[in-house]
Homo-oligomer: A and B are copies of this chain.
């Protein structure tokens, strides 16, 4: 069992200095986010995460959920925690005030989101999915649907789900078969089976609002024939009270590697005559709506990666400080706590600095979306949106892959105790493993990065980003600072590799598409690694400035500089290797490789 203490100082630094909340709070609709409000919310959330949610993480893993009839029973203590969560209004932090939310910016919400996930990832998934469903309804639903569902979903009285996957349709939603039969009264009856539905059924809230992708009878084949429906567990009467039980049921829950307390449901629609559903937006536009909200959902999973890595890091650091074993290599003194051993330091620093890099990416992206939604200037909004969307696969793909390595290293720091479930380190490793899979695997993120985010503007947004990194490199090189200049040198080399890889992709998209996509995940890894290093370098720049100004916590700023340097020394050199690997892929060698698999035929 481990405690969780939210890294509030680091979060505040990122929000204020890297995201630039001082700018964001000037934007129309973001005025509420005063420095005081931000401080109060971070402190309150840290308290709730540490005192209420974190202590339930272990019982959630051990007990898990169970299905009784068609009801899912959550672990002991979870109902109470959920009610406290709703009462405090945490569910509506960034939701529009119009529907009862607090309308605070994403760049504050991201920190709070990280806290919930670090404290208790299985718990946090419920509100996360509800937020996703709220976003989808905000995007596309009629005023009537919005007014019926949004206030209660935002308050947490009802929760939401996203029903996309079917047994034959995972990454490939073109294969969806669930069908929606129009009724004379304008409603629909849905028939089909959905799998991997997170919080598809549970006992935390009085109603569950399912958003379901399904096909109309006359729908075109493939992704252009998918519509979005809202299907409540209990029908809602005109006065807002709950009506009849709808024909949607959880028929089983998965036994999973991790996130045991997050019920992953198989949902049956229409076994008894059809589940009543209501069309959201236009017919056959379901996937378009999904894509709009998917950026937010993917960002949230990236934040999960940061969060679970942070939790694992804190536990590993605590253990390393307590466990005495072996002698100090320099002085011979012993036994010493293992955080004195250079290899343990290497592991802890690797985890810590990688977390910091991906946290910076995730928070920075949130700030871009705040600007995209609130900036008064259309052009600025457009630029911020394009950049924010480019960041999504880096955050989702990069931070989640990092979380697997980080939680694995955290197990390693524990030695044999890390392999014993009682210690709790293994839970983080198991929990983290889903993050590279759901909301689109890392491969899907890499497809999105190249096939969508790069190709839609011929790489213009990426080039803009590379230009920003180059500016930082020049500043660092020109600083003449003994700490900053070496960071700049590493960053410049990594940037060159990133640029080469990007150019190679541009040149090869036509003639060597298989080669380009074979290297797409390495390109995502390269991009997120260097972009993270850039934000750490910027953090070091700012820390230097604050130190010279003599304001703030000097030890915190010194640590930021050390983090950036460690990352530059040990994480950025991989950029060249990744670029070289990417540029070695071509369709011909892929053919040869396919034959390498032959031996198992």
Q: Do residues B172 and A335 form an inter-chain contact, with CB atoms below 8 A?
A: yes
CB of A426 within 8 Å of the partner chain = yes
Q: Do residues A555 and B518 form an inter-chain contact, with CB atoms below 8 A?
A: no
Q: Measured between alpha carbons, how far is A496 from B254 in the docked complex, in Å?
A: 50
Q: Which one of B171, B415, B438, B573 lies within 8 Å of A581 (CB-CB)?
A: B573
A565 vs chain B, min Cβ distance (A)? 7
Nearest-CB residue, chain B, relative to A583: B569
Given contacts A596-B559, A597-B559, A599-B7, contact A257 B577 (CB under 8 A): no
Q: Do residues B518 and A342 form an inter-chain contact, with CB atoms below 8 A?
A: yes
Residues from chain B with a CB closer than 8 A to the CB of A555 are: 595, 598-599
Q: Do residues A412 and B441 form an inter-chain contact, with CB atoms below 8 A?
A: yes
Residues from chain B with a CB closer than 8 A to the CB of A324 are: 168
CB of A255 within 8 Å of the partner chain = yes
Q: Do residues A518 and B569 form an inter-chain contact, with CB atoms below 8 A?
A: no
Number of chain A residues whose Cβ lies closer than 8 Å to a Cβ of chain B: 105
Given contacts A170-B325, A325-B170, A576-B576, contact A593 B433 (CB under 8 A): no
Residues from chain B with a CB closer than 8 A to the CB of A587 are: 330
Given contacts A326-B172, A436-B412, A599-B555, contact A421 B256 (CB under 8 A): yes
Residues from chain B with a CB closer than 8 A to the CB of A515 are: 342
CB of A203 within 8 Å of the partner chain = no
Q: Do residues B589 and A170 form an inter-chain contact, with CB atoms below 8 A?
A: no
Given contacts A170-B415, A352-B596, A589-B566, contact A517 B342 (CB under 8 A): yes
Q: Do residues A599 and B556 form an inter-chain contact, with CB atoms below 8 A?
A: yes
Can you list, as one digit per residue, whether each of A155-169 has a CB less than 8 Å from chain B (1) or not (0)?
A: 000000000010011
A87 vs chain B, min Cβ distance (A)? 31
Residues from chain B with a CB closer than 8 A to the CB of A581 are: 569-570, 573
Q: Which of A171, A346, A517, A562 lies at the interface centre, i.e. has the most chain B CB atoms within 10 A of its CB?
A: A346
Q: Measured between alpha carbons, how far is A580 from B592 in the docked complex, in Å?
A: 32
CB of A115 within 8 Å of the partner chain = no
Q: Measured between alpha carbons, how far is A595 from B420 in the docked complex, in Å?
A: 30
Nearest-CB residue, chain B, relative to A574: B577
Nearest-CB residue, chain B, relative to A451: B329
Residues from chain B with a CB closer than 8 A to the CB of A574 are: 574, 577
A257 vs chain B, min Cβ distance (A)? 4
CB of A430 within 8 Å of the partner chain = yes
A325 vs chain B, min Cβ distance (A)? 4
Q: Which one of B419, B521, B576 lies within 8 Å of A437 (CB-CB)?
A: B419
14 pairs, CB–CB < 8 Å, chain A vs chain B? A170-B325, A172-B334, A254-B420, A330-B514, A330-B587, A346-B521, A346-B522, A404-B408, A412-B442, A561-B592, A562-B593, A563-B596, A566-B596, A574-B577
- List chain A positions with a Cβ less than 8 A from chain B: 5, 7, 9-10, 165, 168-172, 174-175, 195-196, 254-258, 314, 317, 324-326, 329-330, 334-335, 339, 341-349, 352-353, 404, 408, 411-412, 415-416, 418-422, 426, 429-430, 433-434, 436-438, 441-443, 446-447, 513-515, 517-522, 555-556, 558-559, 561-563, 565-566, 569-570, 573-574, 576-578, 580-581, 584-585, 587, 589-590, 592-600
A-B interface, 6 closest residue pairs, ranked by CB to CB distance from nearest: A342-B518, A562-B596, A569-B584, A343-B443, A573-B577, A573-B580
